[in-house]
Each structure stands twice: as structure tokens, then as C-alpha cells.
Amino acid sequence: DAGVIQSPRHEVTEMGQEVTLRCKPISGHNSLFWYRQTMMRGLELLIYFNNNVPIDDSGMPEDRFSAKMPNASFSTLKIQPSEPRDSAVYFCASSFTGLGQPQHFGDGTRLSIL
């Protein structure tokens, strides 16, 4: 079975450009999570969707960040405009809803903003 698929795997762009990260969750999972991993802050939750609806976006750092889930099989995380401090590894994860249901992670997008 296919796992969580993220694209691109690596993205290098200049400050001020728009960046779009993509995620395809595991088929049948109804919860989707976006995380950011940095050396300073570790793995932090940005936003959580349940049945395609954003439930908690309190981790989204600024208005420059936005996330959408137009259907059950696709989500995007957009940064506009991007800044060097946005450089990090961004992970998408999906799961069934329910206490204790493990989240399954994609391999991440390594983002470098120059």
C-alpha cells in the first residue's frame, strides 16, 4: 500500500517567492496533519484537518502560511511570501480519527529559502 506521498522532496527558492508543498494522504484516512521540523523548535504541529475541514490551525506561524484540503486525497501548504526563517523540513501525516490512532508520516519536503 502506498504511504503518505509528499512533493517536492526538496525545494530551493529565493526569498519572497511563493512556495507550495503538496501531500497525498493514505487512502481512507480522515485526519491530516502538517508539521514543521527545525533544529530550534523540533517537530511542531502547524495545522490539523479532519474530514477535509481545518480543526486546529493554532500552530500556523503567520498569515503568510495557509493550508487547504480540497478533497480527501490532497492537501497543500502554501507560504507567500517566503522568508529565510521558513527554511525547515515540512512533514505531512495522516491517520484514522480516534484516540491512539497512529499518524503515518510522509518523507517530508526539505525547504530552503535563500
Partner 1 sequence: DQQVKQNSPSLSVQEGRISILNCDYTNSMFDYFLWYKKYPAEGPTFLISISSIKDKNEDGRFTVFLNKSAKHLSLHIVPSQPGDSAVYFCAASGDAGNMLTFGGGTRLMVKP
Task: Decide whether 65 or 106 has the Cβ nearer to partner 1.
Answer: 106
* Residue 49 to residue 110: CA distance in whole angstroms: 22
Nearer Cβ to partner 1 (13/103): 103
- Judge residue 78's burial from the number of C-beta atoms within 10 Å of its C-beta, 0-12 exposed, 13-18 middle, 19 or more buried: middle
- For 3, residues 6+ apart whose C-beta sits below 8 A from its C-beta are 26, 104, 106
Q: Considering CB under 8 A, how many residues would be counted as binding partner 1?
A: 26
For residues 35 to 74, the per-residue mask of contacts with partner 1, x marking binding by CB under 8 A and - elsewhere, is -------xxxx--x-x----xx------------------
Kindly state the smallest distance separating residue 105's Cβ from partner 1, in Å. 3
The number of angstroms, rounded, from the C-alpha of 66 to the middle of its chain's C-alpha atoms is 10
Residues of this chain that interact with partner 1 (CB under 8 A) are 4, 31, 33, 42-45, 48, 50, 55-56, 91, 93, 95, 97-108
